[in-house]
Amino acid sequence: MKKNIKISSERLMSIIKKPITTEKSTNLQQFNQYSFIVSKDSNSNEIKQAIETIFKVKVTKINTSINRGKMKSFKGNFGYRKDFKKAIVTLQEGNTIDSSLEIK
């Protein structure tokens, strides 16, 4: 049983970090799917509410994954990039998100 708990508008704006604009994510748009980098402590219900209120669209499905940071070297020192959480959002037929929008 899902509980729809109302989330504050400040929390909604902090969930979505930025859209992913790669070749693969651009190809997903023909299937009405959009990719976003989201905060690591958010869950699917919070992401759904954030997308629906910010972009005013209807979300049907959300897939999330946590990507590990790659190992990199800089001037002989080894380190890792930051981990990030990615959400692929499927919208209802007829709904679109303008890809030129910037989230700040």
Q: What local confidence, expressed as pLDDT, does residue 1 receive? A: 43
Q: What local confidence, expressed as pLDDT, does residue 34 receive? A: 95
Domains within the chain, CATH numbers bracketed: 9-91 (3.30.70.330)
* Rounded alpha-carbon distances, angstroms, from residue 63 to 9, 35, 78, 90, 96: 23, 9, 32, 8, 18
pTM, two decimals, is: 0.83
Asked whether residue 100 carries a pLDDT value surpassing 90, the answer given is no
